[in-house]
């Protein structure tokens, strides 16, 4: 695509791959072509990274194309527009005299220490994602947009209640917000804003995957409230946090195998999680005109009704879902337990034995892993040893019969004697190392089906991040609209965290969201005041190699030397 350049000459932006002679290394760059009369010169706008293999090259090219799309949409934002150049030239020291930096250290005192890394990096990413546009009429509600941005970044930095976030922003970030106005801002995060944010998350994820997503991972979790009162949205239901007497909501999250978000939906707390899948899938297909998507979910997502709906629609959905092998018909169980029904297959991580079975016309793929078998046996041994110790101490061992996890290994002899049931233990050992999935994804071979299911831990990791790292639970809001706004803030934070994690992993090294947060939270600026000369200075903190790399890959300049802020 061609634009008028900053110099008044036409230019073009494109992705270039440079090869190194006698080396597998290939560098990916975004390049600007500028015409000067009859000559065309090229300038590197953004250096993306180096690939050593074809899959790495493809990922880098997709990331470069994603950035290039934003150049085409608004090339000034990333190609140093006159405004951005002016800002870069207006460095504080240009307005200062050399003598302003001749200070007496005895006259200096630190007024404030500001955490700058989170806002420096996640702030521009917030805007790149378009989250500053999800509130209706953002130009008229600039204060609300700014508050939304700061509350999202506060949740990334140190998730807490809105009251605590406001206090932290003022104390540690130099950002002053009114708590009442923060609550009013949340009222702008209505259903249309949430829908737009879901669209943006989906679009940015699609860009990174070369406009194609054909495997989606789906799971649900429950979020409880610090109250015992229900309403139409907060309802008691099956709680994964074991808070059965407290109302909750059900959160359904969809991500790619890399953990990048595709979207989320919130349901009332008494919704059976298996009933959330079909509405979410239909919404994706209708909204984004997706032709083929393989949904991957654990066994809890599926029941006969859901599978029937997946298979009976005009455009049947493909699925890979976990199977509860011990609930299968007896004849199928015996076939699954027969080693003769398996073939050995070598994979990158392990040597598997894979079998294929028919269960009422559905394809069941079962794998056996020695590593998994060892873990299953070890876990059972620990559980039995723990149970034996408890039985020896308990005055009334019958109480353990009420617990299914204990009861499956116990038997009662007479009226008062409870012993371990060796037969049950031996029977349980027959299932060690076995895992099964149902699928109708006919275009995938059995090994690929199992590989895709193994990626399901990404969505489990996503919930771990939202629940623990971003502390989306418990929820302290009561109005349904505020609860939904809280989920929107948490989802926005999660999206930014995963987007940055993906880029850091692709261009630098594998760093967890917490490692990235720790690197950025330590990037600080001290505000020093010369009480004698009435001058304020900014003193940047030492920056770690990881933080320096994050700044560089996000194309964000970082000052290393002190600078003048204000002369009184």
Tell me which of 447, 468, 502 is where a domain ends.
502
Residues 95 and 218 in one domain: no
- How does DSSP assign 371-437, residue by residue? HHHHHHHHHHHHHHHHHHHHHHH-S-GGGGGG-HHHHTTEEEETTTEEEE-HHHHHHHHTTTTEEEE
Q: Point out the least confidently predicted range of 23-27, 276-280, 306-310, 435-439.
A: 276-280
User: Residue 68 falls within a domain, yes or no?
Assistant: yes
**Which burial class, exposed, middle or buried, applies to 119 when counting CB atoms under 10 A from its CB (0-12, 13-18, 19+)?**
buried
Going by C-alpha positions, the residue among 156, 157, 260, 263 that lies closest to residue 505 is 260
| Degrees, nearest 5: CA angle 305-199-506 | 100
User: Residue 157 falls within a domain, yes or no?
Assistant: no
Q: Point out the least confidently predicted range of 283-287, 377-381, 475-479.
A: 475-479
Give CB contacts under 8 A, 24+ apart, made by 271-277: 271/237, 272/238, 273/220, 273/238, 273/300, 273/301, 274/300, 274/301, 274/302, 274/303, 274/305, 274/306, 275/306, 276/220, 276/250, 276/252, 277/218, 277/252, 277/301, 277/302, 277/306
Q: Which two tokens stand for residue 344?
A: 């050995």
Helix (H), strand (E) at residue 13: strand 10-19
Q: What are the residues whose beta carbons fall under 8 Å from the beta carbon of 351, sequence distance 6 or more?
A: 344, 345, 369, 370
Tell me which of 53, 87, 121 is where a domain ends.
87
Between 109 and 316, name the one with better pLDDT.
109
The pLDDT score that the predictor gives to residue 27 is 86
Q: What is the CATH number of the domain that holds 298?
A: 3.30.420
Going by C-alpha positions, the residue among 221, 139, 150 that lies closest to residue 181 is 150
pLDDT in tens, 184-214: 999 999 999 999 999 999 889 888 877 667 6
- Whether 83 shows a pLDDT value over 80: the answer reads no
Tell me which of 87, 117, 142 is where a domain ends.
87
For the segment 479-500, the average pLDDT, to the nearest whole number, is 89
Residues 80 and 8 in one domain: yes
For the segment 286-307, the average pLDDT, to the nearest whole number, is 71
Residues 491 and 466 in one domain: yes
User: Residue 123 falls within a domain, yes or no?
Assistant: no
Give CB contacts under 8 A, 24+ apart, made by 548-553: 549/504, 549/508, 550/121, 550/500, 550/504, 550/508, 550/516, 550/519, 550/520, 551/120, 551/121, 553/49, 553/503, 553/504, 553/507, 553/508
Q: Point out the least confidently predicted range of 246-260, 323-337, 367-381.
A: 246-260
The pLDDT score that the predictor gives to residue 139 is 93
Residues 535 and 492 in one domain: no
- Whether 223 shows a pLDDT value over 70: the answer reads no
Whole-number Å distance between alpha carbons of 464 and 8: 51
For the segment 21-29, the average pLDDT, to the nearest whole number, is 81
HEC string of 324-347 equals CHHHCCHHHHHHHCCHHHCEEEEC
Q: What is the pTM of this model?
A: 0.72
pLDDT band at 240 (very low <50, low <70, confident <90, very high): very low
- Whether 84 shows a pLDDT value over 60: the answer reads no
User: Residue 217 falls within a domain, yes or no?
Assistant: yes
Q: Point out the least confidently predicted range of 304-308, 352-356, 449-453.
A: 304-308
The pLDDT score that the predictor gives to residue 18 is 87
Q: What are the residues whose beta carbons fall under 8 Å from the beta carbon of 558, sequence distance 6 or more?
A: 120, 523, 540, 543, 548, 551
Whole-number Å distance between alpha carbons of 232 and 480: 8
Going by C-alpha positions, the residue among 268, 272, 276 that lies closest to residue 218 is 276
Residues 488 and 551 in one domain: no
> Assign residue 475 a region: left if phi > 0, alpha if psi is -120 to 50, beta otherwise?
beta
The pLDDT score that the predictor gives to residue 79 is 36
Q: Is the peptide bond before 474 cis (omega within 30 degrees of 0)?
A: yes
Cα dist. 30→23, 25, 264 in Å?
A: 21, 17, 33
Whole-number Å distance between alpha carbons of 552 and 547: 9
For the segment 22-42, the average pLDDT, to the nearest whole number, is 79
Percentage of residues in the chain having pLDDT higher than 90: 29
Mean pLDDT for the chain? 79
Going by C-alpha positions, the residue among 193, 198, 204 that lies closest to residue 70 is 204
User: Residue 180 falls within a domain, yes or no?
Assistant: no
Residues 546 and 469 in one domain: no
Cβ contact 177:169 at 8 Å: yes
pLDDT in tens, 108-154: 998 888 888 999 999 999 999 999 999 999 999 999 999 999 999 99
pLDDT in tens, 44-69: 777 787 888 888 888 888 888 877 76
Q: Which two tokens stand for residue 442?
A: 């006919």
The pLDDT score that the predictor gives to residue 414 is 58
The sheet with strand 362-369 has its strands ordered as: 261-268, 248-255, 215-224, 294-297, 318-323, 434-439, 362-369, 351-359, 343-346
User: Residue 517 falls within a domain, yes or no?
Assistant: no
Percentage of residues in the chain having pLDDT higher than 70: 75
Going by C-alpha positions, the residue among 155, 444, 489 that lies closest to residue 295 is 444
Residues 105 and 231 in one domain: no
Going by C-alpha positions, the residue among 384, 411, 500, 405 that lies closest to residue 126 is 500
User: Residue 346 falls within a domain, yes or no?
Assistant: no
Going by C-alpha positions, the residue among 197, 125, 194 that lies closest to residue 497 is 125
Residues 97 and 64 in one domain: no
Q: Which two tokens stand for residue 22?
A: 């006698």
Residues 303 and 235 in one domain: yes
The pLDDT score that the predictor gives to residue 459 is 61
Whole-number Å distance between alpha carbons of 143 and 531: 34
Whole-number Å distance between alpha carbons of 458 and 157: 22
Q: What are the residues whose beta carbons fall under 8 Å from the beta carbon of 152, sequence distance 6 or more?
A: 126, 131, 489, 492, 493, 496
- Whether 232 shows a pLDDT value over 90: the answer reads no
The pLDDT score that the predictor gives to residue 156 is 92
Q: Which domain holds residue 563?
A: 91-109+523-567
Max Cα separation, the chain?
A: 101
Q: What are the residues whose beta carbons fall under 8 Å from the beta carbon of 319, sequence distance 6 or more?
A: 294, 295, 296, 297, 302, 307, 310, 438, 439, 440, 441
Cα-flanking dihedrals φ and ψ of residue 320, to 5°?
-135, 110
Residues 103 and 236 in one domain: no
The SS3 call for residue 212 is coil
pLDDT band at 469 (very low <50, low <70, confident <90, very high): low
Helix (H), strand (E) at residue 539: strand 535-540
Whole-number Å distance between alpha carbons of 192 and 184: 16
- Whether 546 shows a pLDDT value over 90: the answer reads yes
For the segment 535-541, the average pLDDT, to the nearest whole number, is 86
The pLDDT score that the predictor gives to residue 45 is 75
Residues 81 and 13 in one domain: yes
The count of domains in the chain is 3
Residues 467 and 530 in one domain: no
pLDDT in tens, 407-429: 677 776 656 567 777 888 889 99
User: Residue 379 falls within a domain, yes or no?
Assistant: no
The pLDDT score that the predictor gives to residue 153 is 93
């Amino acid at each position: 695509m061609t634009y008028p350049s900053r110099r008044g000459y036409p230019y073009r932006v494109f992705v270039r791959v440079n090869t190194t002679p006698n080396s597998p290394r290939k560098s990916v760059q975004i390049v600007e072509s500028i015409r000067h009369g009859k000559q065309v010169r090229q300038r590197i706008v953004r250096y993306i990274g180096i690939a050593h293999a074809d899959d790495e090259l493809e990922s880098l090219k997709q990331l470069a194309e994603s950035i290039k799309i934003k150049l085409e949409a608004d090339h000034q934002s990333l190609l140093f527009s006159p405004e951005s150049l002016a800002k870069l030239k207006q460095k504080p020291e240009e307005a200062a005299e050399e003598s302003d930096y001749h200070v007496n250290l005895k006259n200096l005192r630190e007024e404030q220490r500001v955490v700058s890394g989170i806002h420096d990096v996640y702030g521009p990413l917030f805007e790149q994602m378009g989250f500053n546009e999800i509130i209706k009429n953002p130009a008229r509600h600039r204060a609300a947009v700014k508050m939304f941005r700061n509350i999202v970044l506060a949740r990334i930095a140190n998730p807490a209640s809105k009251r605590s976030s406001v206090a932290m922003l003022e104390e540690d970030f130099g950002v002053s917000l009114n708590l009442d106005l923060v609550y009013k801002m949340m009222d702008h995060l209505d259903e249309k804003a949430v829908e737009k944010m879901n669209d943006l998350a989906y679009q940015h994820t699609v860009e990174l995957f070369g406009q194609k997503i054909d495997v989606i991972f789906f799971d649900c979790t429950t979020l409880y409230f610090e109250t015992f009162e229900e309403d139409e949205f907060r309802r008691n239901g099956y709680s994964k946090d074991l808070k059965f007497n407290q109302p909750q909501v059900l959160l359904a999250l969809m991500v790619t195998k890399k953990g990048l978000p595709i979207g989320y939906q919130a349901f009332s707390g008494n919704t059976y999680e298996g009933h959330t899948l079909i509405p979410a899938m239909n919404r994706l297909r209708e909204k984004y005109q997706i032709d083929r998507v393989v949904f991957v979910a654990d066994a809890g997502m599926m029941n006969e009704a859901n599978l029937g709906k997946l298979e009976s629609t005009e455009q049947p959905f493909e699925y890979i879902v976990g199977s509860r092998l011990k609930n299968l018909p007896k004849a199928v169980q015996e076939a699954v337990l027969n080693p003769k029904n398996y073939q050995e297959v070598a994979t990158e991580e392990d040597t598997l034995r894979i079998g294929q079975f028919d269960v009422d016309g559905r394809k069941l793929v079962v794998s056996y892993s020695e590593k998994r078998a060892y873990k299953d046996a070890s876990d059972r041994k620990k559980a039995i040893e723990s149970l034996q110790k408890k039985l020896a101490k308990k005055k009334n061992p019958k109480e353990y019969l009420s617990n299914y996890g204990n009861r499956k290994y116990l038997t009662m002899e007479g009226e008062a004697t409870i012993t371990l049931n060796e037969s049950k233990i031996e029977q349980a050992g027959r299932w060690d190392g076995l895992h099964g999935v149902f699928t109708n994804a006919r275009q995938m071979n059995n090994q690929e089906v199992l590989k895709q299911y193994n990626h399901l831990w990404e969505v489990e990791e996503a919930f771990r991040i939202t629940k623990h790292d971003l502390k989306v639970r418990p929820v302290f809001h009561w109005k349904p609209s505020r609860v939904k706004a809280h989920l929107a803030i948490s989802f926005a934070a999660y999206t930014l965290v995963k987007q940055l994690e993906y880029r850091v992993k692709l261009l630098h090294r594998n760093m967890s969201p917490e490692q990235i947060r720790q690197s950025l939270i330590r990037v600080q600026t001290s505000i020093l005041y010369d009480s004698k000369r009435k001058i304020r200075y900014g003193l940047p903190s030492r920056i770690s190699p990881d933080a320096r790399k994050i700044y560089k890959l996000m194309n964000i300049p970082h000052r290393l030397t002190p600078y003048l802020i204000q002369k009184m």
